[in-house]
Amino acid sequence: MKKTVLFALCALVLAILLVSCGGKESYMIQTMTYPENTVKTLEERGLTPESFAAYAAGDTSYQGNAGREETNLVISPYFDAVLDGEVLPVYATPVYIGSEYRGAIHSFSSADVSFGNHKKVTLTLTVKPSVPVESAEVFANDPAKLTQTGQTLELEIGKHGSYTIVLNDSQDAAFTLFVRKYADEDSEIAAYQEKYGEDKVLVYEPGLHEVDPILLSGDSVLYLKAGALLLPKHTIDVQTDEDAAGNPEEGAEENNAIGLNRYPVVNGFHAENITIAGRGTIDMSRLDWHERRGVVFTLCKNISVDGLIMLNPCEWSYINYRCEGVSVSQSAVFGYRTNSDAFAICNSTEVTVTDCFARTGDDMFEVKTLGGEETAVSKNITFSRCVAWGSKARCFGVIGEIERDVSDILFEDGIVIFRDATWDNDRIGSLVVLRENGQGKVCNVTFRNMTIHRDFGRPILCGNYSMTLTDSRLEGIRFENVNYTADMQSQVWRNAGTGNLLDVTFQKVTGNGESLAGENLSKLVFYDNPDTITVIE
């Protein structure tokens, strides 16, 4: 009898706990907060919003892309935020506006959220008087209700993801909130230590850390706690092309497969089971242009990167080369320097890039094949729910170097907010499959459920860039359920080289409010051969 009563009491307590925790998880919010004095206000830095934004307005010379002594991160001068009653720190970094050849400031916040039995959380964003709010629009992969009352915005959020608010349909003073899945940092770290051993788990606590290149071996973890800010040391002066090509570091070339003679900021080579986790930030502002690449994995298997923010990369931000089994999620790149590509997946297989954000100084979500053995292909790669804001080059695509085969690539549920680079409209666009060189075959590339808010040039670009390319085979290129607003036509250009094959299908594509059909193909698409195009209405 006593056992029965005890069992009943235990069951009752368990039921109460489950109800209070929303069944499987409790309602929790953990904001990303850099410790006091780690990130300063503009006033404390002796800067104005105009002078801070001007960091991004330099030319394409080494001087224009030069490193800075301090971090390129400040407390936002434009916004205050509260998330479900909890103060949410707002930070800011310089970005570039291509159509106006000037810099701007992009503000952002991050919070880990466990919704529990809450169906939504509410962001209250107060805009400073220096930015009068005439209109506001939110860009996100999931529905989010946005209301405006004067200078105050309220956003109801029910899913994890990134939420970007654009004011006055302008590229200035934007705000992005990263709502990430809640993670108990100490529990995660303990689990990794149990799995791999304490000496294989490198942890950075909240605060500023000046770091040398971080070399990751197999079965290891780099864990950046929320509020950890890594500032790679500037050790090599790079002022010319000769400087960039020279100045080798001992051991660097033997520890990568893409010919780098200096270590990247984070390097993994010929290793398996590497994890980068946490909610930390790597700010490469101190590095000279082309001094180091960002996070590079070559000849690796089973790689996971989750929750990383990279600021002001001085060259390619994130690279996989000849890797297998890669997951990149909930990560972001903010930058403006030339060649600061965001997520470059090269000669790799079985890769997913999910819920990532990029506003940076070159291509953003890209697939390439850079060379290597004939088997060094790119295959089975998916970019899902990613958001791009491009002011120097291209947003999504199979781009440029195609030295080996590329197949079974999917870009789905993606958003282009703005893309205003127009320096070569035969080469750059929002959704792109373009061969510039190489002899690899490209087949089965799909863009599905993609939205382009505003492209100042070509929204879709597909074909061969060079008139001298021959035997170029681009097959099974599909654009399905794509909606765009753009200033120019899309372009499908096979070029007349010997043996060139181009096969492009448009299905449920809407441009500037007009559904693409056979009778208006020439209005919405600029092409050299109609036989390369199939339209399914």
**Residue 69: domain span:** 24-181
| pLDDT at 24 (0 to 100) | 56
Q: Which residues of the chain have pLDDT under 50?
A: 1-23
How far is residue 249's CA from residue 236's CA, in Å, rounded to a whole number?
A: 10
44 found inside a domain: yes
140 found inside a domain: yes
| 3 state SS for 122-180 | EEEEEECCCCCCCCEEEECCCCEEEEEECCEEEEEECCCEEEEEEECCCCCCEEEEEEE
CATH number of residue 171's parent domain? 2.60.350
pTM: 0.94
* Tokens at 450, concatenated: 């993609």
Distances (CA, A) of 269 to 115, 250, 297, 327, 347: 38, 15, 6, 16, 15
Contact present, 181 and 330 (Cβ < 8 Å): yes
**Percent of the chain that is helix, strand, coil (3-state, to 5):** 15, 45, 40
Contact present, 95 and 64 (Cβ < 8 Å): no
The phi-psi region of residue 171 (left if phi > 0; otherwise alpha if psi is between -120 and 50; otherwise beta) is alpha
| pLDDT at 468 (0 to 100) | 83
Q: Which residues pair with 52 in a beta bridge?
A: none
How far is residue 212's CA from residue 471's CA, in Å, rounded to a whole number?
A: 45
| pLDDT at 367 (0 to 100) | 98
Q: How many domains does the chain divide into?
A: 1
389 found inside a domain: no
Block residue for tokens 């449920």: 508
Q: Compute how many other C-beta atoms are within 10 angstroms of the C-beta atom of residue 275.
A: 22
How far is residue 155's CA from residue 139's CA, in Å, rounded to a whole number?
A: 11
516 found inside a domain: no
75 found inside a domain: yes
536 found inside a domain: no
| pLDDT at 358 (0 to 100) | 98
Mind listing the pLDDT tens digit for each residue in 12-39? 333 334 334 444 568 999 999 999 889 9
307 found inside a domain: no
167 found inside a domain: yes
| pLDDT at 237 (0 to 100) | 96
